[in-house]
């Protein structure tokens, strides 16, 4: 059976309407994702555009055909606006409507043939801009982004083929290009574009939500540093690298002194500000490869690859002094917050991260017992399995 143009237009309209309905349904479940609504509206407008073109072809009414071309051009402009919205880039609605307005005016002034030519040029520009926008956001490393770039680029290429077809004069039959013309590629490609881009846009936004959830789970919400689980995972990898290279690794544990009293006396807002101040002080002293995480409450850990215990102690002492100086006053409250710490270093290749944290923790509580606001080093000279002793460091 031979496929005629009206039948194909019905297929296109149905496919676009289904894609638009799916996108709007997804948006209704997550109203913050404006891109879903924009893409759904674009698909529905395109579905209406093909219906208008079919009516113009069947009724021989140029006005319907011009309306159809305008609606299809609106799909292209909203595709551009959606691509920009996905990456939180500005996309003025005026710019999105300028192209379709130019298409409509050309159709009214010169007829459907000229409206088609203008629509192809403007549509290719919008869709190429959308492909470029998706491409520029590839640093986000989402798998669904590449298909969106490819499909948008292919859609723009189809428009360019349509422009070439118009230039050689092989596109007009009763006001619309025929299936047999080179332009006929657009009729088939538009179905693939509508269904493919809708599916991959949904996939991209789902990937982004999952990535954001994973990042939130790995990041302490108050301070922005690594959570306990994320720190232990990254510190474990650092330890393995140092073990492979035969390099030492030092671990520091910190605990804010009398933090409950700070909260009780000045309120939790001041307490949170104290924690944030401590993280700022530590972050300012870290090297790019050092690790820093919140172990829970007011307790923190730092891992220093390729660092001796002497160098780690000097670093920890600098953190202690800077924090005490910076926390004399917080939010107009005289807080005088201090911190105690313990430092350990790997002495044997088989030592685990858990053992190093235990050594540092023992040194930390030795510092607490000796009056707080000081840093202690762990004495790890005893045989493996023996109790760790904490030595005092001036």
CB-side neighbour CA atoms (13 Å) of 214 = 6
Query: Hey, which residues does 255 pair with through a beta bridge?
Result: 299, 340
Closest CA to 239 of 129, 334, 350: 350
**Tokens 């009516």, residue?**
55
Active site residue: 189, 298, 306, 317, which one?
298
Strands 249-256 and 339-345: antiparallel
And the tokens for 240?
A: 């393995």
Q: Determine phi and psi for 392, rounding to 5 degrees.
A: -85, 135
- Cα 79 versus chain centre, distance: 20
- State both tokens at 248: 């030492």
* Torsion-angle region of 42 (φ positive above 0: left; ψ -120 to 50: alpha; else: beta): alpha
Name the DSSP letter for residue 224. Answer: -
C-alpha–C-alpha distance, residues 322 and 358, integer Å: 25
Question: Any catalytic annotation for residue 350?
Answer: no
- Enumerate residues 6+ apart whose C-beta is below 8 A from 167: none
How far does Cα 222 stand from its chain's mean position? 20
Assess contact for 62 and 111: CB atoms under 8 A. yes
Among 78, 77, 4, CA closest to 41: 78
Please state, in angstroms and rounded to a whole number, the distance separating the CA atoms of residues 23 and 145.
17
Q: How far apart are CA 219 and CA 227, in angstroms?
A: 5
What is the set of active-site residues?
Answer: 298
């Amino acid at each position: 059976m031979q496929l005629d143009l009206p039948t194909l237009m019905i297929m296109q309209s149905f496919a676009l309407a289904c894609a638009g309905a799916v996108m709007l349904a997804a948006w209704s479940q997550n109203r913050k994702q404006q891109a879903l609504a924009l893409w759904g509206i674009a698909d529905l407008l395109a579905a209406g555009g093909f219906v208008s073109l079919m009516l113009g072809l069947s009724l021989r009414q140029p006005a319907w055909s011009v309306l159809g071309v305008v609606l299809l051009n609106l799909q292209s402009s909203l595709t551009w606006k959606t691509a920009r919205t996905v990456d939180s880039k500005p996309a003025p609605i005026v710019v999105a409507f300028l192209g379709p307005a130019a298409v409509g005016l050309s159709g009214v002034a010169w007829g459907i043939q000229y409206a088609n030519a203008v629509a192809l040029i403007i549509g290719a520009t919008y869709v190429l801009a959308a492909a470029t926008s998706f491409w520029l956001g590839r640093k986000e490393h989402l798998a669904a982004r590449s298909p969106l770039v490819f499909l948008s680029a292919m859609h723009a290429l189809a428009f360019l083929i349509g422009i070439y077809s118009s230039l050689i004069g092989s596109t007009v039959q009763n006001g619309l290009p025929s299936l047999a013309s080179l332009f006929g590629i657009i009729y088939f490609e538009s179905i693939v574009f509508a269904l493919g881009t809708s599916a991959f846009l949904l996939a991209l936004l789902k990937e982004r939500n999952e990535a954001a959830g994973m990042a939130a789970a790995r990041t302490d919400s108050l301070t922005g540093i690594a959570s306990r689980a994320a720190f232990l995972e990254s510190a474990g990898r650092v330890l393995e690298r140092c073990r492979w290279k035969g390099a030492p690794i030092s671990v520091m544990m910190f605990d804010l002194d009398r933090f409950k009293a700070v909260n009780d006396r000045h309120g939790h807002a001041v307490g949170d500000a104290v924690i944030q101040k401590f993280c700022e002080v530590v972050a300012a002293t870290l090297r790019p490869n050092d690790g820093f995480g919140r172990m829970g409450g007011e307790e923190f850990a730092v891992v220093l690859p390729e660092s001796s215990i002497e160098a780690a102690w000097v670093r920890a002492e600098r953190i202690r002094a800077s924090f005490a100086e910076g926390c004399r006053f917080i939010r107009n409250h005289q807080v005088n917050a201090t911190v105690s710490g313990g430092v350990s270093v790997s002495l044997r290749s088989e030592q685990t991260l858990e053992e190093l944290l235990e050594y540092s923790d023992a040194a930390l509580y030795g510092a607490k017992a000796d009056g707080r606001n000081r840093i202690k080093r762990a004495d790890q000279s005893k045989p493996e399995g023996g109790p760790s002793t904490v030595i005092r460091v001036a």
